[in-house]
C-alpha cells in the first residue's frame, strides 16, 4: 500500500511545489557561525603559538595525557563489555511487536535484498504470522524504489504487513531525519527499528532486538558491520573503523557516559521517542540529535550490545567518502552547538555522563589545534615536536584500535594473528587521521555555507553477502 504525504502536488498539503530561494542565514544561526569560526581559528592559533614557543611542551602534556586517559578508560571498559554476556536470551516469550522503518531514496538496487532478509525473520507468533510490520518511506525516489518494494514484499509473502509511504515535493524538508519524521512514532508498534535501505540482517535480528527491549532496555544500538571487507581494502578500513567506533561507544556506555546511536540499526521503544519529541527532522545527523535529546530528557546513554549486528554497504569511492564524512562532522558540530547546553545542564544525567559528553565533544578542538601546532613547528623546523605530537596522537589511536580488534576473527572464525591485528590497527589509525582534515573543513563549511541544509546521500550498490555463522 502506498500513502502520499502532505506536500505532494494536488494533495492539499504544503501547497505548490516550489524550490526555496537560498538565504545565507537559513538553517545556520549567526551564533553558530561565529562559534565554528572561533573554534577553527582559536584552536589553530593556539596550536600555532604552541608550535614555536615554550608553550609547546605545556600544550602537549594535557594532549598526551587526555589521549592516554581516554584510551585506557574506554578500552578497558569496552573489553569488559565484550567479554561479558550481553546478548538477550533469544527464546523469551511474548516479545513486543516491531515496526521496521526504512527511509529510502533511489535505493532500488539494495532495498529488495533487505525485504528478503525481513521475510526470513523468525519473530513470529505460534501460527507463523509475523510479529512485525514494515514501513518504507520512499523519499522522492525516481528509480521506482516504492514500486519495487511493493512487488517484492508481495512475492515473499509480506505484502499485507508492508506499507510504502511516499514523500513528494522539492519544498519539503530534506534528509533522513525528515523522512523518519513523516512516520509518526504514535502510528508504530511498541518497538521501532530503523534500518538503512542497504542493511542486511540475520534471521533472528528482530527477535533479538525485541528481546533486549523486553528485558528492560529502552533503546539499543546494533553493532554496524561492513559488507565486502575481505575483498576490498577501502571496505576493510571502513569495517575496522566501525569496530573501533563500536568499542568506543561500548566503553562510554559501560563507564556511564553518553553513548550514542549510529543511524543504521537503531532499536527504540516507541514511548521513548514520543517523550523525546519525535524524530528530529532538521539535523544532518538525526541519530546524534536523537541521542542527545534522549540523554537530556531521560538521563539515558544508548547501550551497544553484543549479539545484535547489522551489515551495510561500504562507501566505494574516496570522493563519496569525503562527502559522507564532511556531512557527519558538520552534523556533529551542529548537534553540540544546539543540544550541548541542554545535555550539560541536565540534572537527569550523572556528572560522569556530562563530563563524558564534554570530553567527547572536546575532540572537535583537536584537529585545528594539531594543524596549527604542526604548522608552527614545521615553519620553525621543529621536527622533533611534529614527531612527538603526531606520534602521541597516533600511539593512542593505535592502542585503542589494537584492543578493539582483539575480538575480531577471520572468515573461518579463528582469532586474528598478532601480526595481522597490528597491521590492521595501524592501517585504521592512519585512516582515522582523515578526521584531522574533515573537522576543520566542516567548521569552515558551517561558518560560510549559504542556503538551506541539503542531505547528500551516499550511493549504495548491492553487495554479495554470506550469512555469518551459516
What confidence tens digit (pLDDT) does each residue in 198-210 have? 999 999 999 999 9
Burial class (CB in 10 A: 0-12, 13-18, 19+), 297: middle
Burial class (CB in 10 A: 0-12, 13-18, 19+), 412: exposed
Is 80 exceeded by the pLDDT of residue 314? yes
Q: What is the per-residue pLDDT for 67? A: 56
**pLDDT, tens digit (0-9, with 9 covering 90-100), for 125-148:** 999 999 999 999 999 999 999 999
**pLDDT, tens digit (0-9, with 9 covering 90-100), for 77-132:** 555 544 343 445 555 568 999 999 999 999 999 999 999 999 999 999 999 999 99
Buried b / exposed e over 128-161, threshold 16 CB at 10 Å, is eebbbbbbbbbbbbeeebbebbbebbeebebeeb
C-alpha–C-alpha distance, residues 428 and 402, integer Å: 10
Q: Is 456 or 269 the better-scoring residue by pLDDT?
A: 269
Residue 285 cell numbers, joined? 545527523
Three-state secondary-structure class, residue 126: coil
C-alpha–C-alpha distance, residues 248 and 243, integer Å: 9
Q: For 389-416, what is the mean pLDDT?
A: 84
Q: What is the per-residue pLDDT for 9? A: 33
Q: What is the per-residue pLDDT for 378? A: 75
Rounded (5°) CA angle 289-396-75: 65
**pLDDT, tens digit (0-9, with 9 covering 90-100), for 227-247:** 999 889 999 999 999 999 999
* Closest C-alpha to 289, from 305, 273, 304, 270: 273
Q: What is the per-residue pLDDT for 308? A: 94
The phi, psi pair for 428, rounded to 5°, reads: -70, -30
Instruction: Name 60's Cβ contacts closer than 8 Å, sequence gap at least 6.
Output: 50, 385, 388, 389, 392
Supply the pTM of this predicted model: 0.87
Q: What is the per-residue pLDDT for 393? A: 77
Residue 174 cell numbers, joined? 530534506
Three-state secondary-structure class, residue 379: helix
Is 70 exceeded by the pLDDT of residue 36? yes
Q: What is the per-residue pLDDT for 52? A: 63
Residue 307 cell numbers, joined? 549479539
Is 70 exceeded by the pLDDT of residue 62? no
- Say if CB 101 and CB 180 are below 8 A apart: yes
Three-state secondary-structure class, residue 174: coil
Amino acid at each position: 500500500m502506498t500513502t502520499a504525504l502532505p506536500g505532494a502536488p494536488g494533495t492539499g498539503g504544503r501547497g505548490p511545489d516550489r524550490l526555496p530561494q537560498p538565504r545565507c542565514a537559513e538553517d545556520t544561526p549567526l551564533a553558530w557561525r561565529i562559534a565554528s569560526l572561533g573554534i577553527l581559528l582559536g584552536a589553530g592559533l593556539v596550536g600555532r603559538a604552541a608550535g614555536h614557543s615554550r608553550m609547546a611542551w605545556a600544550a602537549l602534556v594535557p594532549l598526551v595525557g587526555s589521549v592516554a586517559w581516554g584510551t585506557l578508560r574506554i578500552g578497558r571498559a569496552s573489553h569488559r563489555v565484550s567479554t561479558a554476556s550481553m546478548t538477550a536470551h533469544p527464546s523469551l516469550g511474548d516479545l513486543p511487536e516491531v515496526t521496521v522503518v526504512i527511509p529510502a531514496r533511489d535505493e532500488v538496487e539494495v532495498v529488495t535484498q533487505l525485504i528478503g532478509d525481513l521475510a526470513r525473520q523468525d519473530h513470529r507468533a505460534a501460527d507463523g504470522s509475523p510479529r512485525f510490520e514494515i514501513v518504507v518511506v520512499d523519499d522522492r525516489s525516481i528509480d521506482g524504489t516504492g514500486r519495487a518494494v511493493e512487488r517484492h514484499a508481495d512475492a515473499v509473502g509480506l505484502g499485507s504487513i508492508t506499507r510504502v509511504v511516499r514523500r513528494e515535493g522539492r519544498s519539503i524538508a530534506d534528509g533522513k531525519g525528515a523522512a523518519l519524521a513523516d512516520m509518526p512514532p504514535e502510528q508504530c508498534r511498541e518497538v521501532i527499528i530503523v534500518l538503512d535501505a542497504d542493511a542486511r540482517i540475520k534471521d533472528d535480528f528482530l527477535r533479538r532486538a525485541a528481546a533486549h527491549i523486553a528485558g528492560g532496555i529502552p533503546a539499543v544500538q546494533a553493532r554496524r558491520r561492513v559488507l565486502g571487507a575481505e575483498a576490498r581494502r577501502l571496505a576493510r578500513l571502513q569495517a575496522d573503523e566501525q569496530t573501533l567506533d563500536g568499542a568506543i561507544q561500548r566503553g562510554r556506555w559501560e563507564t556511564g557516559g553518553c553513548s550514542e546511536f549510529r543511524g543504521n540499526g537503531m532499536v527504540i521503544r516507541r514511548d521513548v521517542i514520543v517523550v523525546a519529541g519525535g524524530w528530529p527532522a532538521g539535523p544532518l545527523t538525526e541519530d546524534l540529535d536523537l541521542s542527545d535529546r534522549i540523554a537530556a530528557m531521560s538521563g539515558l546513554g544508548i547501550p551497544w550490545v553484543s549479539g545484535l549486528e547489522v551489515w551495510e554497504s561500504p562507501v566505494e569511492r574516496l570522493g563519496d567518502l569525503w562527502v559522507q564524512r564532511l556531512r557527519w562532522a558538520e552534523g556533529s558540530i551542529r548537534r553540540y552547538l544546539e543540544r550541548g547546553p541542554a545535555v550539560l545542564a541536565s540534572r537527569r544525567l550523572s556528572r560522569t555522563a556530562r563530563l563524558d559528553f564534554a570530553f567527547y565533544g572536546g575532540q572537535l578542538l583537536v584537529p585545528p589545534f594539531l594543524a596549527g601546532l604542526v604548522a608552527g613547528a614545521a615553519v620553525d623546523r621543529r621536527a622533533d615536536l611534529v614527531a612527538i605530537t603526531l606520534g602521541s596522537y597516533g600511539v593512542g589511536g593505535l592502542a585503542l584500535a589494537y584492543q578493539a580488534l582483539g575480538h575480531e576473527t577471520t572468515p573461518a572464525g579463528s582469532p586474528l594473528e598478532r601480526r595481522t591485528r597490528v597491521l590492521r590497527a595501524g592501517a585504521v589509525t592512519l585512516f582515522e587521521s582523515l578526521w584531522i582534515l574533515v573537522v576543520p573543513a566542516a567548521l569552515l563549511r558551517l561558518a560560510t555555507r549559504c542556503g538551506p541544509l541539503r542531505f547528500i546521500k551516499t550511493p549504495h550498490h548491492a553487495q554479495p553477502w554470506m550469512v555469518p555463522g551459516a
